[in-house]
Structure formats: structure tokens, C-alpha cells
Structure 1
Amino acid sequence: MSRAEPLFAGGGPSSRRPSPARPSPLLPRSRAAMHSLVFLCARKLASHHAAARAALDLLPRELYAVLFKAAFLDGRTLVLHDLVRAWPFPVLSFRQLLRACRHCDRALLQKPSKLCVQAVLLGVVAYLDEALQDRQHGSSKRRCLQVLDMTGLQDDGVDHGPESMSLWSRTVTLAKACIDLSKRQSKCVERTSKRRKGPYSSAVAPPPPRPVSVEVRVDLFVNSTSYGVLKDALQSNAHSALRLKCRDFRAEELSIASTVGLLEFLDPGSVRQVDLRFNNLGLSGLRVVLPHMAKFTNLVSLKLPYSNIDVRRLSAGMEGSLHYFAAQLGRLSRLKELNLGSSRLSGKLRQLLGDLQGPLESLELAFCYLLPSDLSYLSQSLHTPALKKLDLSGNNLSDSLLQPFQRLLGEASSSLLHLDIMECRLTDAHLDALLPALCRCARLRYLGVFGNPLSTRGLKTLLQRTAALADLRLVVYPYPVDCYAEQLPWPPSSSSLLNGSVDEERFSRVSAELQRMLLSSSRAGAVWTTNLCRHSTLDYFSL
């Protein structure tokens, strides 16, 4: 077999991403990975393809996992291909095989190698091709592999180099593999059927061998470019030897009909998250789409950012759509995470969340034009004492929302792990008012205050007061207003803060001083950074 070749050609989606922030000096240093003697031997074996192939029949089953990770680490695609074809277990899970372990403390789940992922997929396809050939010739050879679990491969959406494989690319690659294999399977069945019906076939034909199939558990990301190929793959799912079972489904820039069409093909029991963004659905579109989600009995997370929802001036008909939308949300009995970011929800939060059957643990309401009544409702609702993640970025917390937000923060203090209040127009004085409630959030792990007009003094106060929060490991802070090269208008807008010119020398001194303060507070392990892209925020399922 030649070196694993790409299964597809073409580029990925054009994502709307923030431009990379300026690098921060407060980044953790890398350390050398620790490898066991067994792992070092596995790497040596994987470096010689012929020897590794010859050893597979003699290799104890428990060493397959070590050899898989060693081959993945060093990009030994031919060895990976052979390992998969001979896999001696029912399940091959990327999440289990590539995590940190006692043989190798390095995790390989972040930005996985494109060639290695493709080699594994090609190995699975070859495994199924052999099974189809065996079936055609009546062989009863026992085969073990039943499940390929590709969930857990992490895709932060930025800095994808040519060697890595994005979630969009994995989706397209898998879809094309499913379609190609389904076509070959159909031809194989047709040839087998013709032979059985031939003039010299026996009167009583033997029963066909049990069909072999592999279930692929996967997260899917689709947009208008990849919609057609994914739909074809999902349509062939029922009878294909390679069957997609989606865990997290994400769709961007799809029409209502296309979105519904794909949701209808997803397995009802396997979907835990639906993420629909940039789809311009509006309330009328969501009224069509949402009923199709009630069948997902294990749906925990629903994300609908940038859905063009505006409830500020509702006609009589749109008022009915809002009621219907809220009622459909109420049907999602296991919902724990809801993202309505960039919707205009002014004064309607009680109506939207009032029908939910249980408390939310993650609520994202960034840039939602919230009113004091919204935060007052939230602070008294069943959701707040259970909230682990709260994102209120882009709402003006500096004015009439400040006191309701203080109360909300106090009510959520016992459970809150992740707080985003970026671009909320908070000055030093506002932060001083919030600090007593913020410092009661003893379990807080992440705090995002980027894009707020804070000074160096305000940042120092924030660091001093939150140093006692032992779990606070990541703070994304703004460039101090006194570090800008030019005089900012006051109060500065978010665009002024984002686009203004920073005096790098002055900011470097402030960064170094913050680092010294962390060291003197015995918090050297905490990361304070201005970089929005380098450090991914906490995902709900990892809280």
C-alpha cells in the first residue's frame, strides 16, 4: 500500500473568526514528554513498517493501543492502516487511545494529523472491503471491529496548519468514504445475487454470511459547501457497512429546508448537542426547525447564535412564534446548555426560559440587548443556582444592569465555574462594585473581561482580590487604557479598544508586573493573558 492519500480535495468553510489578539508573555512553558520503555519500543517498531506488519500476528492484544499511539505520534500512516485492519477489539476510540496515559503523558487529541486520521479511515474502509469480499465468497472469517469512535478530537477553529485536520474536513472525508463504500457494497450484493440465481445454483442456497458493519461515532460540521455530500452519506446510513452516528451536530449558513433535511437523518438517541449558527433562521425559521429536535431524547446542549432573533418590536403573528419557540424549548426535557448569543431578547427572557422543565447549567446571552428585568428574572429563576457557565458579553453592565448583575452573580456564586463579561463597558469603578460578589465565586476557573476599559490599577486590584480563588486558572484581560499610544475617547467604545494602537513597551512592563504579582501570590500556575485565540475557553461538557 502506498502512503495514505487524502480522500477529498478542496478547502474548508470560510469561518467568521476574531482576528488573533496580540501575543501575551504569560504563556505556560512546554515540557518534555515522559515515555515508558514499552512506548519507546513501540516507536522503534513503528518506524519499520515491514517489521511492524510481520509482528502484528504475534503481538499481544494489550500492546495494540501502545503501538497505535506511537504510530500516530510519529506519523506512521502505513502502520496505522495495518493496525486498524487487524484491530482485535470491538471498539477503536481516538479519545481513549490518544489521551495521556502511563506509557506517554502527551495527549494527541488537539489538531490531529490529517494523514494519520485518513490512514485510520482508509484502514477501516479496507477492513470492510475485505469483509464484503469474504461475504461474497461465503467466508465466515471472524472480525472484531464494530465501532470507530472519532469523538473527542478537538477542533478550536483557529490556526489549522496544512498538517492538521479540521472538523469540517473530517466530516467531508467521512461522508465521501461512506458513499464510496456504499456503492461498492451495492455492486458486491448485486454480483452475489446474480450468482445465486444462475442456472447451476443449488436448489437450496446456504444462508448468506452475517453482514459486517462499523458504526462511526462522530461530531459533524456542515455548511452549504458540504451539505450535499453529507446528506448523501446520511441517506445511505441504514444499509451501509459504514454508518455515521452523530454526537454533536453543527451547521453554518444553511437554509431552513437543508437544516431540517439533515436533522431528520440523525440518529435520535445519539445526538447530545445541536449547534446552528449564521443560518439567519429568525423566529419564523426556528418555529419550523425546533419541532424536529424533540426526537433527540438525549439532547443536552442547544446553540442558536446569530439566528437573527429580534423580539423588540413583535407583530401579533411574531408574538405567537415567540410563544411557540418557548414551548418547543420546554419539550427538550434534558436541556442543560442554551446559547442564544447575538439575539435581541430585550425584556423577553422570562418568557423564553419559563417553560424549561429543569435548570440550565450553561447560558450564553452575549450581545442580547438585555434589560434590568431580564437579569432580575434570571437572578430569581431556578437556573441561577445551577449555573456553571454564564456569558453576558456585549451587554452594557455599566449602567442600569450593574445592580441586577451583582445580585445575579451572588445567587450563582456557589456553582459558577466560567464567567464571560467581555465588552461590557466595565470601568475600574464598576469592577470595584462587582468584586465582593465575584470573590464569593469560590469555584471559578475562567474569567473573561477582555474589551472592557480597565486601567493598570484596576487590573492589579482584580488580580489581588481574586488571588484567593484557588481554582481560577485562566483570566483573559484587556489591554489597560493607560497602555494605548493615543488618548482614547471616554468612555471608550469596544471598537476603540479593539482597534486602538497599544504602546507595546508600556504594556510589556504591565504584563511583567502582573506576572510578578502572580508569583508573589503563589499563583504561578494561573494564566493571565490578552490572547483570545491561544487559550480555548471551557466547553460545557468539560466543566
Structure 2
Amino acid sequence: MVLSLVNLCAKVVVSDHSSSPHWLSCVPRELYGSLLDAAFTGCRPLAVGELVQRWPERTLRVGGRKKPRKSPPNRLCIQALLLAVVRGLTDPRCVLQVLDLCGLQGEEGGMGDPMGGWSLTVALCSMVLQAKIGTQREKRREGERERKRFRAMEREKDLVKKERGQENKKSEEEARSGNSNGTDTREPVRNGEQGIGTSVISGEEQKIKGVRRRMEMERRESKVSGSRRESEEIDIDSEVVMHVRADLFVNARSWERVRLAMRTVGPLKLQCRYLRVEELTVSRIKTLLELLPRQGLLGLDVRYSSLGVAGLTELLPQLSTFPALSSFRLYYCNLDLHRDQPGQEGTLRDLSLGLAQLKQLSHLSFTALRLPGHLRMLLSSLSQPLEVLEMPYLSLSPSDLAYLSCSQHASTLQQLDLSENRLDETTLPSVRRLLSQASGNLQHLCLSGCGLTDRLLGALLPSLSCCRALKSLGLSLNPLSMAGLLDLVRTAVRMPSLRQLLYPNPLEDYQPGLPELPSSAQLLDWPLDELMEVHATHSQLNRVVTESGRSDLFLTCDLINYDKDLVE
């Protein structure tokens, strides 16, 4: 990637922290974005904090969709960003109102020490709580300053009253001394008038003073009660200074902290785009969903939670209250309908009706749920066709694949995952019909561990070659020979849109003793033959790609590091 002149200059500027007081005072707002990118790229947490604390725009977006071969920001830089957000709440130079961190998290322990989803979620919750504590501390300081100002005003009023009293006393003494010297100019008062007039005047003065005193006391009480009511209203309905959007990852260890942060009323309001939960009960998941804003949630990912069919049926009605929810994933959630059980049909109908309430659902993923023969009941009730359907380890039956190939979803699928579902001669016609229906839109297909032999794959290759939009194809852990693998690559190079191919190790590369038709588990655990040159297989396949003139097709047998999302 060729850096622009602005990016190169920004990289040099943020590299020297000692010069930051000079350029921070004069840098134009248009360059803040380039400087922040350079600070993240060069791992300059101090520069990140200073830029964010005085961010001149209303919105700051960090993260987004991961680009190929671009690592997420360093953990220290993210921590500096979060601390700067809290400091910026009291900095008049910071006008930030929306902080978007969606897609920021990386994989724990990855290259460059990125911050994973769980760590980022905990850090965000700590930031929300810290901002609340800081606001309360600032309110106490402001209240103390207000009380000091009020006391100073009271002392000043008392001083003025004291001075006025002394002046009145002095004037009375002067008047009395004038009378004793015979200089009294007052008109004489007739019999009894002087005592009566004096008593009347003094009584009126007392009344006036009493009224003034009561008015002053009422005014003070109204001020105190008004300030109390205002403080109570502020505590209940505090204005949100900044909205923080992020993808949250919650498990049993962090659930309490996340719940506390979501319930906190303060200057920072935490919003969730995609929620991933692990090892949580149904009640805790429902409690968490009740705290989320209704408009922002786009997806829910539930993993390793013993929901059961009954728990899932209880959860779905609450999901229907999120109008923008488009993605729902279940991963090892103990949904086992492999055996007929009493009341199972009624439970399935409730489950189907619950899925039908998700009006915007376009991404559905069921992993290892064992639902053979029930695919029609689950998917036929959906209000709109799916774009992403992932069903690995689902023990799909021939009737399931037959329904899917003729369903409303077949022609709209952009991503399909049928990994670890056994394919044979009885299911092959349905798969071919499904690929024919999806050929115009299908971009990602995974058939890993499906038991595809050379003969089955040879019958499937014509249908695969018709998928003109296909960008990635996964076929790992299938028992293919070197000859079948070469046929696969020759077909792949004739697919102009294909960018990635995940191929299996050929049977010739394994040590002796492998069964004639090994399963995916056996292929995964069986050792490769050290005497065979495994890299020679990769070189031979790449030679076919090079001879075809396809420099944009990437071949790999690395199942662990394979990522279909790296396709541009």
C-alpha cells in the first residue's frame, strides 16, 4: 500500500511525543483523522489520548470491517482512547458526541497484542462507570462551590445590616445630643400624642421587619428545596453527553459488570450493535436484552449455553421486540431433536412461530444442534428469504436438503455452510439443484467434512462451475486423492470470481493405515507422512494456477487460519 504525503507526514509528527504541545495547539481539524490513524498504526498511545481528548468532530469512528492483512489497534492504544474519552467529558475543546467502536475487537493473543472482544467489553463498561463517578464527583465539587458562594453572600448581607444599624444608632445619638443643647426643631406634640405616635411607628416597623424576615426565610427554603428537586431530577433523568456504539461479548464472568454499566445513568450511554453471549442462562440473556436499546441491535450470537428447545422458544418473543435484528446465531446450545419425544411437535411449532416474528432476519446460523428432518418446519415460516444460512454439524437428512433446494431461500443465498453434513448419492441431486438455484448470488460456500470422494466431487464440479458469483470455496477434510484435487483446481481456475480455495490434503500425503473412506475426524487426527513432501502438493497445485494465468486465486490447506472474510 502506497502512503499519501499526508499520511507520511502524520506518521512523523506523532512519532515524537515531546513535540506534541507545539503541533496540538495549531493543527487544523481536518488533519485529526490522519494523525489518529498514524498514532494507531505506529502504536503511539500518548498521541491517541491527546487527540481524542480534544477531538474536534461530533463523531469518531474507530474499527469497522477488518481489511485484509491489517491488524486491529494495539491494546495500549485502545486503553488510551477510552481514558481520553472520560477526560474529554470535562474538556471544552472536545465536542465528541458519538463514539463508534463497532468491529474494533481482535482475537485474544493475536499479533501486535490486540484487545479481544471480552476485554474490550469489560473496558467499555469500566469507562461508563468511571464517567458516572467522575460526574458525581464534579457535581459534589460544584455543590461545594455553590455553598461557599451562598455563605459569602450571607456574610456580606450581615455586614451591610450591621453597618446600617451602626449608622442609625449614630444618627439617633446625634439627635439626642441636639435636643439637650436646645436645638430641637421638631414641632411640639399635644398631650398624649408623642407616646401614642412612637408606639404606633415602632409597631409598624416591627411588623415590616417580621414580614421581611419571613419572606427571606421562605426565599431561602424555596432555593434549598428547588436545588434538591433539581438534583433529584438530574440523578433520575441525566442528559447523555456521548453515545458509545460497540459490539459486546458477555459471558458468565463479565455479566454482572455489563448489567451494571447498562443500568447506569450517566454521561456515557452504551449501545450494542452485535451481542455475543457465552455460558449464560436464558434468564440472564433476557435480562441483558431488556437493558439494550431497541433500535441498535442488529445481531445476537449465543454460544455454549444450555438453552434447549424450551429456552429458545422462550427467548424468541423477546428478540422480536428489536426491529432491526437481522442476524441470529446458535452455537452448541443443546438443541437435540434427534429422537422423538412427547410434545416435540408442539415445541417445534412454537419455535417456528417464534422465528416468524423476526421480520428482518436475513442471517441464520445453527451449529451442532442436531435437527434432522425438521428444516422445513423451521425455515418455511420465515417472513423473508435468507441471505446467509449456516448449518454445520446439523445431521441434515435427504428430505432437509430436498426442501432447501426448492425453498424460497435457495435463490437468495449469498453464503451457505453445510460443513460436516454427510453427502452421498441420495443427497447429491438436491445439492446440485440447490447450487443451480443459488448460482447467481452465492458468494461463499463451505462443504468441508461432507465425505466427498473423487466420484462425488466430479459429479458436483459442473454445478460448482456455474456459480458465477462464488468468491470462496471450502472443501477441507474430504477424502480426495491427488487426481481429484487436480480436477478441482482445474475447475477453480475457470471460475473468474473465485478468490480463495480451501482444499484438503490428498490421501497420498497421510501415513499408511488410513481407512478406505475416512471420516473428517480421522482426516483431522491422522498424521501426515513425513517422508512425503507436503509442500510439493501445494507447489503442484499452484503450478496449475500459474499456468492458467490466475494470479488472483489463493490456494490454502490451512484450516485453522482460513478466513473467508479476507476476500475483498
One of 552, 557, 563 as aligned partner of 1:530? 557
Partners of 1:376 and 1:404 within 8 A in 2: yes
Q: 1:363 to 1:174 in 2, by over 3 A?
A: same
Q: Distance in 2 between matches of 1:179 and 1:314?
A: 49
Percent identity between the two aligned chains = 37
Deviations 1:51-82 (A, max 9, x none): 22332221111111111111111111111111
One of 525, 529, 543 as aligned partner of 1:516? 543
Q: Which residue of 2 aligns with 1:423?
A: 449
Q: 1:158 to 1:432 in 2, by over 3 A?
A: farther
Q: Which residue of 2 aligns with 1:113?
A: 74
- Structure 1 residue 419 displacement after superposition: 0.5
- Structure 1 residue 512 displacement after superposition: 0.4
The amino acid across from 2:348 in the alignment is L
The amino acid across from 1:223 in the alignment is N
The amino acid across from 1:370 in the alignment is L
The amino acid across from 2:257 in the alignment is V
Q: Which has the higher contact order (CA 8 A, sep 6+)?
A: 1
Q: Which residue of 2 aligns with 1:258?
A: 284
Q: Distance in 2 between matches of 1:154 and 1:472?
A: 28
- Structure 1 residue 399 displacement after superposition: 4.2
Superposition pairs for residues 314-463 of structure 1, below 5 Å? 314-463=340-489
One of 22, 39, 45 as aligned partner of 2:7? 39
Q: Distance in 2 between matches of 1:107 and 1:461?
A: 30
| 1:272 pairs with 2:240 | no
Partners of 2:493 and 2:553 within 8 A in 1: no
| 1:92 pairs with 2:118 | no
- Structure 1 residue 265 displacement after superposition: 0.9
Q: 1:195 to 1:212 in 2, by over 3 A?
A: farther
More off after superposition, 359-368 vs 162-171: 162-171
Q: Distance in 2 between matches of 1:364 and 1:507?
A: 31
Q: Distance in 1 between matches of 2:434 and 2:300?
A: 27
Superposition pairs for residues 115-514 of structure 1, below 5 Å? 115-128=76-89, 130=90, 141=92, 143-153=94-104, 155=106, 157=107, 160-161=110-111, 163-193=113-143, 200=151, 213-236=241-264, 239-504=265-530, 505-514=532-541
| 2:37 match: secondary structure | helix
Q: Distance in 1 between matches of 2:417 and 2:366?
A: 10
Q: 1:142 to 1:166 in 2, by over 3 A?
A: closer
Q: Which residue of 2 aligns with 1:80?
A: 48
Q: Distance in 2 between matches of 1:53 and 1:242?
A: 28
| 2:552 match: secondary structure | coil
Q: 1:243 to 1:486 in 2, by over 3 A?
A: same
More off after superposition, 166-175 vs 401-410: 401-410
- Structure 1 residue 143 displacement after superposition: 4.3
Partners of 2:352 and 2:378 within 8 A in 1: yes
- Structure 1 residue 151 displacement after superposition: 1.0
Higher helix share: 2
| 1:247 match: secondary structure | strand
Q: Distance in 1 between matches of 2:345 and 2:137?
A: 54
- Structure 1 residue 147 displacement after superposition: 0.9
Deviations 1:476-534 (A, max 9, x none): 11110111122311111222201111125432111101011111111122111111232
Aligned Cα root-mean-square deviation (Å) = 2.5
Q: Which residue of 1 aligns with 2:30?
A: 62
| 1:145 match: secondary structure | coil
Deviations 1:278-335 (A, max 9, x none): 1121101112222111111111110012111122324333322221111111111111
Partners of 1:42 and 1:67 within 8 A in 2: yes
| 1:274 match: secondary structure | strand
Q: 1:107 to 1:520 in 2, by over 3 A?
A: closer
| 1:263 match: secondary structure | helix
Partners of 1:409 and 1:437 within 8 A in 2: yes
Q: Distance in 2 between matches of 1:55 and 1:311?
A: 65
The amino acid across from 2:95 in the alignment is C
- Structure 1 residue 45 displacement after superposition: 1.4
- Structure 1 residue 415 displacement after superposition: 1.1
Q: Distance in 1 between matches of 2:273 and 2:320?
A: 16
- Structure 1 residue 471 displacement after superposition: 1.3
Deviations 1:186-214 (A, max 9, x none): 34335545665786489678999995622
- Structure 1 residue 107 displacement after superposition: 7.7
Q: Which residue of 1 aligns with 2:159?
A: none
Q: Distance in 1 between matches of 2:239 and 2:440?
A: 53
Q: 1:212 to 1:322 in 2, by over 3 A?
A: closer
- Structure 1 residue 178 displacement after superposition: 1.1
| 2:542 match: secondary structure | helix
Q: Distance in 2 between matches of 1:74 and 1:386?
A: 43
The amino acid across from 2:113 in the alignment is E
Q: Distance in 1 between matches of 2:303 and 2:356?
A: 21
Structure 1 gap ranges (5+): 1-32, 101-105, 132-140
Q: Distance in 2 between matches of 1:197 and 1:363?
A: 63
Deviations 1:136-172 (A, max 9, x none): xxxxx474100111113253x4652572111111111
Q: Distance in 2 between matches of 1:466 and 1:292?
A: 44
Q: Distance in 2 between matches of 1:73 and 1:187?
A: 35
Q: 1:398 to 1:507 in 2, by over 3 A?
A: farther
Q: Distance in 2 between matches of 1:114 and 1:304?
A: 29
Q: 1:95 to 1:67 in 2, by over 3 A?
A: same
Q: Distance in 1 between matches of 2:367 and 2:48?
A: 41
The amino acid across from 1:83 in the alignment is L
More off after superposition, 494-503 vs 77-86: 494-503
Q: Distance in 1 between matches of 2:495 and 2:254?
A: 45
- Structure 1 residue 261 displacement after superposition: 1.3
Q: Distance in 2 between matches of 1:185 and 1:319?
A: 54
- Structure 1 residue 465 displacement after superposition: 1.4
Q: Distance in 1 between matches of 2:105 and 2:410?
A: 29
The amino acid across from 1:514 in the alignment is L
Structure 2 gap ranges (5+): 154-218
- Structure 1 residue 538 displacement after superposition: 3.0
Q: Distance in 2 between matches of 1:413 and 1:86?
A: 51
Q: Distance in 1 between matches of 2:344 and 2:129?
A: 41
